[in-house]
């Protein structure tokens, strides 16, 4: 058994923020299913929204967040996140993150505009902000003597007091599959932090990396945590449409800098859908693209930024410019083919400002958590803000807690299982799940589609439970087990919402109800 004071499951911005803010006073393990930089944070292009300029204000950022969130953002949580944004950015700068500078700016850094924002408030590192932040923090993590990084360790389940025969509900560690050694290890910890990101891989088309399989949400649910608002899956409007480009995102900032959406014949269409046109919130832009594609039988639409000079595009969007050029698309001279793709999980494990779940000793931060910040639709570049603010507050809360009395944790028991005889079952079920979730639980939903999805999920759940009970665990099996459970939570939440709000659009309930309420699921 490996023992630590804190075990952080996940190595995105939320997880690294928690670990670095704890490490001077705690022994911390970062448990990550692949390499340290393989999470979604490393892919983030746009930037981090924060009130940094004198012509901006917290009230303005709060208002923009609430408008994008369709009335469902928690007011107290939203204010907390926004008012702690500046100090979070200052912490990143103190760590050495190389944000794009602008000597003509009062703050010395360039701020860009993105959809749904009323001011330029997105600080960024060109168009690869996530990579700049993650590589900077990665170096700090690897150099810190109190942080142990366990790469290629896939979380299986949390170890709770129920498993230990203790009365008071609590989390005391987790089981993880060490993929390199091919065995399950027991990780004991006074506190466990779930920071595994979202569940974009539940859909056929997604901007997310392969690691985004809803692990933390599923593990928390199985341990007895409450989950909220899983129906709100954000579809990013502009994922590159190309047979050789897997999950490549075209940043919101391209539209923020004047990019225009066009049909194949060059006609601009967004003004017909919303007066904010290309700068409308993501749910509106994604639905408009979906509508035009289905109405006209299109494979994609086009994002046109050719009115900007090549020099401007190379300076502001070097990653996008270079990747598109590799694929034969010169964005200075040609529009970019784009389609919507599943991008962000707005719901998750319900937490407070400190990342606390309903289970003592268990925290959740980042995309795994439902803090109430995003409401029914996340405002662009509020995701990394949430990781930073609540990652820091979770670490501060953990540091204030007394140490737990040591307990002996049971080893993983695989005495009644054998090696799987056919792995094809997992691949087939994975493919089936992602296809029917895309078809039935996508941008536009109906009661009939949701019922069909739920029926298939129930069949898959039974099959996977039987498989899990009889065979030794593999990383593919664990991913599928978590994805099917996460899909179940998404559909159950969607079936409970009898309205259209934000990212959840139902043809059977096209109107928005006068009162905004969270969809809350409790185990049992």
User: Under DSSP, is residue 499 helix (H, G, I), strand (E, B) or coil?
Assistant: coil
**Angle (nearest 5°) at CA 354 between 348 and 356:** 55
- Which distant-in-sequence residues (6+ apart) come within 8 Å of 462 by Cβ? none
Report yes or no: 20 and 30 within 8 Å, Cβ to Cβ.
Answer: no
Distance CA 443, CA 56 (A): 33
Per annotation, catalytic residue among 282, 323, 378, 456:
282
Question: What DSSP element (H or E) covers 6?
Answer: strand 2-9
Report yes or no: 91 and 392 within 8 Å, Cβ to Cβ.
Answer: yes
Catalytic site residue 282? yes
Report yes or no: 342 and 197 within 8 Å, Cβ to Cβ.
Answer: no
Query: Which tokens hold the place of 245?
Result: 């480009």
Report yes or no: 474 and 487 within 8 Å, Cβ to Cβ.
Answer: no
Radius of gyration of the chain (CA): 22
Burial state string for 53-77 with b = 16 or more CB within 10 A and e = fewer than 16: beebebebbbebbbbbbbbbbbeeb
Among candidates 431, 452, 491, which has minimal Cα distance to 204? 431
Query: Which tokens hold the place of 182?
Result: 């091919």
Residue with tokens 């779930």: 194
- Residues annotated as catalytic are 282
């Amino acid at each position: 058994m490996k023992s630590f004071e804190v075990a952080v499951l996940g190595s995105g911005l939320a997880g690294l923020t928690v670990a670095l803010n704890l490490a001077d006073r705690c022994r911390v393990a970062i448990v990550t299913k692949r390499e340290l930089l393989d999470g979604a944070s490393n892919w983030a292009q746009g930037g981090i929204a924060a009130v940094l300029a004198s012509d901006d204000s917290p009230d303005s950022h709060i208002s923009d967040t609430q408008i994008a969130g369709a009335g469902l953002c928690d007011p107290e949580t939203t204010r907390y996140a926004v008012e702690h944004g500046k100090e979070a950015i200052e912490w990143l700068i103190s760590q050495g993150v190389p944000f794009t500078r602008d000597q003509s700016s009062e703050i010395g850094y360039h701020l860009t505009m993105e959809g749904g924002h009323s001011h330029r408030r997105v600080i960024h590192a060109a168009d690869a902000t996530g990579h700049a932040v993650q590589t900077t923090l990665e170096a700090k993590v690897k150099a810190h003597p109190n942080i142990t990084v366990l790469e290629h360790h896939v979380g299986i389940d949390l170890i709770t007091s129920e498993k230990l025969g203790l009365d008071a509900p609590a989390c005391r560690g987790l089981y993880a599959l060490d993929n390199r050694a091919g065995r399950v290890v027991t990780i004991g910890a006074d506190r466990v932090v779930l920071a595994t990101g979202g569940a974009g891989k539940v859909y056929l088309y997604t901007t997310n990396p392969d690691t985004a399989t809803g692990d933390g949400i599923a593990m928390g649910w199985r341990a007895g945590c409450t989950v909220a608002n899983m129906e709100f899956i954000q579809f990013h409007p502009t994922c590159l449409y190309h047979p050789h480009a897997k999950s490549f995102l075209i940043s919101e900032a391209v539209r923020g800098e004047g990019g225009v959406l066009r049909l194949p014949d060059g006609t601009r269409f967004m003004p017909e859908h919303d007066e904010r046109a290309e700068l409308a919130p993501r749910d509106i832009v994604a639905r408009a693209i979906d509508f035009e594609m289905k109405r006209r039988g299109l494979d994609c639409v086009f994002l046109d930024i050719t009115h900007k000079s090549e020099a401007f595009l190379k300076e502001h969007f070097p990653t996008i410019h270079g990747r598109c050029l590799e694929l034969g698309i010169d964005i200075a001279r040609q529009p970019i083919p784009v389609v919507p793709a599943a991008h962000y999980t707005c719901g998750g494990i319900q937490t407070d400002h400190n990342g606390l779940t309903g289970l003592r000793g268990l925290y959740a931060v980042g995309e795994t958590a439902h803090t109430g910040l995003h409401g029914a639709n996340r405002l662009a570049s509020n995701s990394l803000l949430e990781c930073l603010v609540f990652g820091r507050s979770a670490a501060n809360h953990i540091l204030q807690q007394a140490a737990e009395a040591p307990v002996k944790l049971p080893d993983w028991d695989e005495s009644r299982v054998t090696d799987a005889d056919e792995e094809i079952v997992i691949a087939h079920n994975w493919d089936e799940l992602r296809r029917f979730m895309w078809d039935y639980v996508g941008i536009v939903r109906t009661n009939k589609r949701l019922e069909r999805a739920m029926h298939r999920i129930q069949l898959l759940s039974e099959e996977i439970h039987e498989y899990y009970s009889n065979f030794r665990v593999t990383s593919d099996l664990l991913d599928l087990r978590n994805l099917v459970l996460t899909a179940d939570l998404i559909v159950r939440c969607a079936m409970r919402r009898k309205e259209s709000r934000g990212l959840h659009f139902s043809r059977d309930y096209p109107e928005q109800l006068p009162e905004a309420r969270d969809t809350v699921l409790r185990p049992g």
